[in-house]
């Protein structure tokens, strides 16, 4: 059954393109969705549609637009190697420019209701969601297993919006010490940190071998409640 949402690719001024998904009502609070390293692929487009069906105006920016516009990669083999190479060449300065452009583009959409914009991201996109909280003036942020956040905790002092983190217990890329460093840096801020027993990196993605349905369902419920609380006026 198709979800009752409308989707299209739109231009993001100065930052390539993005996949826009509109809710059944046609209007709602905004949500910038940051991709994994695999592009705005089938899974990320489906996640955009999922949150649009939940009532949000969702924009998933094409992060690698400079080098590989609208790249759509799988999770293994040559696709994975290409994704890692693209991520390796994606600098922090370009990322912050793109984050701000995506947030600004969504704030300008006529479908935005109430004026609030949040962000959510997965893997690399989780780190971008964290950067959006620090650098782009979003109203709420959700970061799923964002690799490298613990290496940029000097930016935590600039985060004033509510932020929610989701981590896998058995993540080969993000050790427990990194999760604890995030907890420590966010102490005293409106932050939540959740760790999912038995899960691995990428647990939310049903197209990956590491998909863990119980953790994905619990995390989605928490994220949805969090975003509804902070983005609906």
CA distance 51 to 62: 18
Q: Is 171 in the active site?
A: yes
Asked if 196 contacts 166 with a C-beta cutoff of 8 angstroms, the reply is yes
Tell me which of 43, 150, 201, 230 is the catalytic residue. 201
What are the phi and psi torsion angles at 16 (to 5°)? 75, -125
Full strand arrangement of the beta sheet holding 28-34: 6-11, 17-22, 57-61, 28-34, 112-122, 140-144, 163-168, 191-196
Q: Is 201 in the active site?
A: yes
Tell me which of 43, 123, 150, 166 is the catalytic residue. 123
Count of other CB atoms within 10 angstroms of residue 8: 9
Coil/strand/helix, residue 9: strand
Q: Where in the sequence numbering do the catalytic residues fall?
A: 123, 171, 201
């Amino acid at each position: 059954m198709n979800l009752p949402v409308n989707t299209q690719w739109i231009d993001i001024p100065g930052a390539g393109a993005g996949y826009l998904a509109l809710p059944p009502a046609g209007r709602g609070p905004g949500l910038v969705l940051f991709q994994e390293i695999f592009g705005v692929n089938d899974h990320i487009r489906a996640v955009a549609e999922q949150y649009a069906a939940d009532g949000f105006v969702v924009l998933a920016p094409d992060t690698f637009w400079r080098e590989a516009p609208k790249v759509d990669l799988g999770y293994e083999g040559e696709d994975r190697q290409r994704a890692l190479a693209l991520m390796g060449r994606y600098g922090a300065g370009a990322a912050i420019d793109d984050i701000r452009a995506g947030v600004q583009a969504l704030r300008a959409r006529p479908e935005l209701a109430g004026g609030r914009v949040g962000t959510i991201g997965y893997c690399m996109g989780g780190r971008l969601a964290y950067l959006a909280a620090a650098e782009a003036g979003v109203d709420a942020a959700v970061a799923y297993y964002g690799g490298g956040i613990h290496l940029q905790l000097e930016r935590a002092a600039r985060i004033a919006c509510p932020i929610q983190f989701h981590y896998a217990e058995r993540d080969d890329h993000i050790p427990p010490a990194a999760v604890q460093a995030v907890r420590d840096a966010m102490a005293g801020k409106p932050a939540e940190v959740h760790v999912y027993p038995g899960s691995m990196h990428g647990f939310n993605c049903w197209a990956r071998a590491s998909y863990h349905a119980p953790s994905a369902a619990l995390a989605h419920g928490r994220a949805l409640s969090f975003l509804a609380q902070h983005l609906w006026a």
